[in-house]
Amino acid sequence: MKTEKLKEMLSYSRREKNGIIVLIVFVILIGSINLALPFLLNKPPIQVESLHIDWGELHEGQVDSSEKKTSQFGESSEFEISASENKFDDYKKQFETPSYTRKEAFNGIIEINTADTTELMQLKGVGAFFAKKIIKYRDRLGGFFTISQIKEIYNFPVELADQIAPQLSFNQAFIQKININTVVDTILDNHPYISRVEAKTLVAYRSKHGKFGNCEDLLKSITIQKEVKDRLCPYLVFD
């Protein structure tokens, strides 16, 4: 009875036997690794004596290299200095302020009705922009009679007009005049002192009633006011 119980206690199923075998194999494998690991990691140390460096040869190699550079570019220090100077010159050129020739003071007198842009630019404060505007407006008018007409130019500074006034002359002999008895309305309305409607009605009145004899006759046209007549008349002839 006891023998049967002992046999029953020591007997294993197939699954249990397989588990025991796997466990034994695993234990043996771990033991083998533990035994072999020190030998695998035990590499012989590097001998310092084997790393023999000929410092003399290395120094000679550096000297030869620097001599080659020196032979190509001259003394190395001179090359470095010249390179630095060239870089400085390049940076200096980038940030240099361009020099401008200062306009010399002009004390003469300019005839406003014949002057070109170059002459007008001699006046202090008058550059190419304002000189062109003066000439453009002069061409529309036929010429200037007074300094107040310069102030009529769009965006022309009143202070600048007053400043240049003492250096301007206004010769009326150079005024370009319009023959009111022959001009067509498309030419007349180009003048800044008369509108297109006023020009058309003025020419239409002339065509119907005949030539104008003087400035006062302009008021016979219903669209012409006294202010327009007074401003326009200095530019008209009645032939």
Kindly list the distances between the CA atom of residue 206 and the CA atoms of 77, 81, 141, 166, 198, in Å, as whole numbers in the listed order.
93, 87, 22, 41, 12
Examine the domain organization and report whether 115 and 167 are in the same domain. Answer: yes
Q: For residue 11, is pLDDT > 90?
A: no
Examine the domain organization and report whether 144 and 187 are in the same domain. Answer: no
Q: For residue 178, is pLDDT > 50?
A: yes
Domain membership flag for residue 211: yes
pLDDT at 110: 97
pLDDT at 19: 78
The CA distance from 101 to 222, in Å, is 57
Mean pLDDT of 37-42: 63
Residue 167 and residue 123 in contact, taking contact as beta carbons nearer than 8 Å: yes
How many domains would you assign to the chain?
2
What tens digit of pLDDT does each residue of 82-138 get? 555 566 566 555 555 444 445 577 889 999 999 999 999 999 999 999 999 999 999
Contacts of 143 (CB under 8 A, 6+ apart): 113, 172, 174, 175, 176
Examine the domain organization and report whether 202 and 226 are in the same domain. Answer: yes
Residue 232 and residue 191 in contact, taking contact as beta carbons nearer than 8 Å: yes
What tens digit of pLDDT does each residue of 125-175 get? 999 999 999 999 999 999 999 999 999 999 999 999 999 999 999 999 999
Domain with residue 139: its CATH number is 1.10.150.310
- In the predicted model, what is the mean pLDDT of the chain? 79
Domain membership flag for residue 136: yes
Domain membership flag for residue 207: yes
Q: What is the dihedral of CA 219, 225, 226, 231, to 10 degrees?
A: -110
Q: For residue 68, is pLDDT > 50?
A: no
pLDDT at 8: 59
Domain membership flag for residue 27: no
Examine the domain organization and report whether 155 and 182 are in the same domain. Answer: no
Domain membership flag for residue 64: no
Query: Residue 229 — left, alpha, or beta (φ > 0 → left; ψ -120 to 50 → alpha)?
Result: alpha
Examine the domain organization and report whether 170 and 123 are in the same domain. Answer: yes
The CA distance from 221 to 206, in Å, is 9
Task: Among 156, 174, 192, give the residue marking a domain's end.
Answer: 174
pLDDT at 22: 80
Task: Among 127, 153, 174, give the residue marking a domain's end.
Answer: 174
- The rounded Cα 85 to chain-centroid distance in angstroms is 30
| Structural domain span for residue 145 | 110-174
Residue scoring higher pLDDT (175 or 73): 175
